[in-house]
């Protein structure tokens, strides 16, 4: 078989290809649905709700290019409308869906009209402010709908704070008049009502939403919206009604957020304003960017990354700050080596990496648990539901990964291909030195200042290679001088003004000296300066009694996962702006390509030579 396979769009092969793809997705979904532990199924439901919300965000940010960052408010509105109608008015779930969609669509249109005038960054800041302010709106005691409104349809005479539960949130699990549990809709009475059942209900809505949006963006209105993003004036000239399409698109995006809110209420059975803060908005943005801006399937992938990534961060990530620094340095070192060395030396590096990774990665996981690197890696107490042994599963997965690392390093050392050697050297350095470092870590509790200092030395060395050593040396020298003076002042009790004079005189002098020192001395200054200043910093900064031995442990949940999300956001925007879907499409095109087929020409018209030219280039 010859790769890449080339299919004509909408040919029989292409249809078969798509059917196989969707069937595989369906099989995976059903397997996960059936065999994952219940708390993970709930996480899957959350993923689907997030995916629909990201899809809506994508309509505005990705397809029409407007920076509207208030999707979390629309989710909140949908969730609260649904919750209030169910609990206060006794509606059924399916009846609340159109109401939530209408309410959020209306609100989207109302916000979309100012968005016609407010452009670019001004729109971003307005919507950010709105998203930040929305949770506090739910605490208002104002009556809604207001009592001066005519008619008494769904009146209830309740305040906003009562409908939303205010700061306490609203539980949907209150029994209704019949004593039924309302946590999930009772659409299919022949199933047990539990997390798996809720996932089924959420899945139906998500499939409908994805199908609808997938077709919408390919339709005539969808193309009109994309043309507005690409060139607004051009679109207007071509007859696209800018106002109409922008506002309706805004409304549709908001309605998708509302649908996500209803799904949220369905699977969680509890809605509270604390869930819909600006943090949720940034999570949605991370999902959007990681999945791929302007792609439909990216929404699902991004949502999976966000939901399961946060869970992984919170549960299993127990590294210390210094060990994160270590991995960062290792990455930089490996990239540096792989770029700099020639093929023959890379082979030697691969061989070394293979030996190290065999000793410190493969051997321990084989059951010869001599070095116990797994403890250092943080895979402990995997938990999981009954009948599901996470620890065995993950240990097997880890073993497979380690074996792959070892195999790649061996291949790099033995094969003649440049690319394989480079990959083998890279993986070998990361795996071998990482395993060695982890082992060292477990053996001797290395004080934090040493890691920071080593980081400084490695940084200095990298900078030396990259020709930026002047800057690093100057910075290290200036920092050391500053901290040394501060230390001196604290010890001796120097007058503050004299200290200020000392700082003003000595810090720039140290930086200047380091910058103009001979090239051979500069890396030494940089490394020694970082080591010295990190000793001083850690020594005097160990004011926190809970820092063991100056080793700074990061807390797994809350702040850390937030920081990691921030880093992921920046790294993805920086290095992979096309997102996972974009990268996947690029690499998958080596295996399968879909060739666009020009529309059939009217009878008698001559075929253009352009089409044959494209065919040739695709095959080449």
Partner 1 sequence: MTTFLQRIIDGFQNGAIYSVVAIPMVLIFKATTLINFAQGELAMIGAFFGFIFATQVFGLNVWLAAIIAMALAAALGMGIERSLLRPFDPTDHLPVVLITLGIFYIINAVGGDIWNYQAQINPPNLLHEMPDLGFWDIGVWMQDQTILFTSDTNPLGLRIQHDSIGLILSLLIMLGALYMILEKTKMGLAFRAVSSNTESSRLVGIRVGRILSFGWALACAFGALGAILVAPRITLQPNMMAPILIYALAAAAFGGLDNVYGAALGGFVVGLINSVVLGYISDVRWLRARLDSIGIEDAEFVEGLGSLTAAPLIPPVILLLTVLWFRPTGLFGTKTIARV
Report, in Å, the least distance between residue 85 CB and partner 1. Answer: 21
Q: Which of 328, 340, 325, 338 is nearest to 467 (CA)?
A: 340
User: Which CB sits closer to partner 1, 415 or 489?
Assistant: 489
Q: What six digits make up the tokens of 541? A: 């900064």
Nearer to partner 1, 372 or 539 (CB): 539
By C-beta, is 110 or 173 nearer to partner 1? 110
141 vs 606, beta carbon nearer partner 1: 141
Of the two residues 37 and 166, which places its CB atom closer to partner 1 in the complex? 166
CA-based nearest residue to 241, from 226, 224, 219 = 224
Phi-psi map region of 295: left, alpha, beta (phi>0 left; psi -120 to 50 alpha)? beta
Rounded least distance, CB 65 to partner 1, Å: 8
Contact 432, 413 (CB under 8 A): no
In the bound complex, what is the minimum distance in angstroms from residue 137's beta carbon to partner 1? 6
Q: Which is nearer to partner 1, 431 or 579 (CB)?
A: 579
**Residues at the site binding partner 1, with contacts judged by CB under 8 A:** 61, 67, 69, 114, 117-122, 124-126, 128-130, 132-133, 136-137, 139-143, 146-148, 159, 161, 233, 282, 285, 289, 293, 482, 486-487, 489-490, 495-497, 499-500, 503, 540-541, 543, 554-555, 558-560, 562-563, 565-567, 569-570, 573-574, 577
Give the per-residue SS3 of 441-483: HHHCCCCHHHHHHHHHHHHHHHHHHHCCHHHHHHHHHHHHHHH
DSSP state letters, 151-164? S-TT-TT-BHHHHH
The minimum distance between CB 337 and partner 1, in angstroms, equals 22
User: H or E stretch including 171?
Assistant: strand 170-171
Q: Which is nearer to partner 1, 411 or 462 (CB)?
A: 462
Task: Specify the long-range contacts of residues 540-544, CB closer than 8 Å, at least 24 apart.
Answer: 540/487, 540/490
We find the least distance from the C-beta atom of residue 73 to partner 1, in angstroms, to be 11
Nearest to 520 by CA among 468, 448, 451, 469: 469
Closest CA to 431 of 359, 337, 501: 359
By beta-carbon proximity to partner 1, the closer residue of 531 and 564 is: 564
The least CB distance from residue 122 to partner 1, in Å, is 6
Please report how close the Cβ of residue 333 comes to partner 1 at its closest, in angstroms: 19
Nearest CA to 106 among 133, 134, 69, 81?
A: 81
Contact 579, 295 (CB under 8 A): yes
Cα–Cα distance, 515 to 315 (Å, whole number): 45
Are 508 and 474 within 8 A, CB to CB?
no
**Closer Cβ to partner 1, 380 or 539, answer by number:** 539
CB of 232 to partner 1, least distance (A): 9
Query: Tokens standing for 595?
Result: 């060739």
Q: How far is the CB of 118 from partner 1 (least distance, A)?
A: 5
């Amino acid at each position: 078989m010859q790769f890449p396979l080339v299919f004509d769009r909408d040919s029989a092969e292409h249809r078969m290809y798509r059917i196989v793809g969707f069937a595989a997705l369906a099989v995976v979904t059903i397997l996960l649905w059936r065999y994952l532990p219940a708390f993970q199924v709930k996480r899957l439901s959350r993923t689907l709700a997030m995916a629909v919300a990201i899809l809506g965000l994508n309509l505005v940010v990705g397809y029409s290019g407007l920076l509207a960052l208030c999707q979390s408010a629309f989710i909140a509105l949908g969730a609260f409308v649904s919750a209030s109608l169910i609990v206060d008015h006794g509606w059924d779930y399916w009846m609340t869906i159109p109401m939530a969609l209408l309410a959020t669509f209306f609100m989207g249109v109302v916000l979309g009209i100012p968005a016609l005038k407010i452009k670019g960054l001004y729109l971003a800041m307005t919507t950010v402010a709105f998203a930040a302010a929305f949770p506090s709106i739910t605490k208002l005691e104002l009556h809604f709908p207001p009592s001066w409104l005519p008619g008494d349809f769904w009146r209830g005479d309740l305040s906003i704070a009562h409908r939303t539960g205010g700061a306490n949130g609203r539980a949907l699990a209150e029994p209704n008049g019949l004593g039924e549990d309302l946590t999930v809709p009772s659409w299919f009475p022949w199933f047990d009502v539990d997390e798996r059942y809720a996932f089924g209900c959420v899945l139906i809505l998500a499939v409908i939403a994805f199908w609808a949006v997938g077709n919408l963006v390919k339709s005539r209105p969808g193309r009109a919206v994309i043309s507005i993003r690409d060139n607004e004036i051009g679109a207007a000239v071509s007859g696209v009604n800018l106002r109409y399409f922008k506002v309706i698109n805004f409304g549709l995006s908001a309605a998708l957020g509302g649908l996500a809110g209803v799904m949220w209420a369905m699977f969680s059975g509890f809605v509270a304003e604390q869930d819909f803060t600006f943090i949720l908005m940034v999570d949605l943005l991370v999902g959007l960017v990681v999945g791929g801006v302007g792609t439909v399937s990216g929404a699902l992938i991004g949502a999976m990354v966000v939901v399961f990534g946060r869970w992984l961060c919170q549960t299993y990530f127990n590294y210390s700050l210094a060990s994160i620094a270590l991995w960062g340095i290792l990455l930089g070192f490996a990239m540096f080596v792989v770029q700099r060395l020639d093929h023959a030396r890379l082979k030697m590096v691969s061989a070394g990496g293979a030996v190290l990774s065999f000793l410190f990665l493969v051997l321990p996981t084989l059951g010869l648990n001599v070095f116990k690197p797994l403890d250092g890696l943080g895979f402990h107490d995997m938990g999981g539901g009954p009948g599901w042994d996470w620890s065995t599963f993950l240990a097997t997965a880890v073993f497979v990964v380690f074996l792959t690392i070892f195999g790649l390093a061996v291949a790099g050392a033995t094969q003649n291909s440049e690319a394989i050697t480079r990959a083998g050297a890279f993986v070998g350095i990361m795996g071998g030195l990482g395993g060695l470092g982890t082992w060292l870590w477990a053996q001797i509790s290395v004080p934090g200042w040493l890691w920071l200092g080593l980081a400084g030395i490695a940084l200095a060395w990298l900078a030396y290679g990259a020709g930026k050593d002047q800057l690093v040396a100057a910075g290290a020298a200036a920092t050391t001088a500053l901290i040394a003076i501060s230390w001196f002042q604290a010890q001796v009790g120097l007058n503050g003004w004299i200290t200020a004079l000392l700082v003003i005189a000595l810090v720039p002098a140290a930086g200047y000296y380091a910058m103009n020192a001979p090239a051979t001395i500069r890396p030494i200054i940089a490394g020694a300066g970082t080591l010295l200043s990190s000793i001083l910093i850690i020594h005097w900064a160990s004011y926190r009694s809970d820092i063991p031995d100056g080793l700074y442990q990061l807390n797994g949940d809350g702040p850390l996962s937030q920081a990691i999300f921030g880093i992921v956001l920046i790294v993805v925007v920086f290095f992979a702006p096309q997102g996972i879907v974009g990268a996947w499409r690029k690499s998958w095109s080596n295996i399968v390509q879909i060739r666009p087929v020009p529309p059939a020409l009217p009878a008698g018209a001559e075929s253009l030579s352009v089409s044959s030219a494209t065919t040739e280039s695709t095959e080449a």
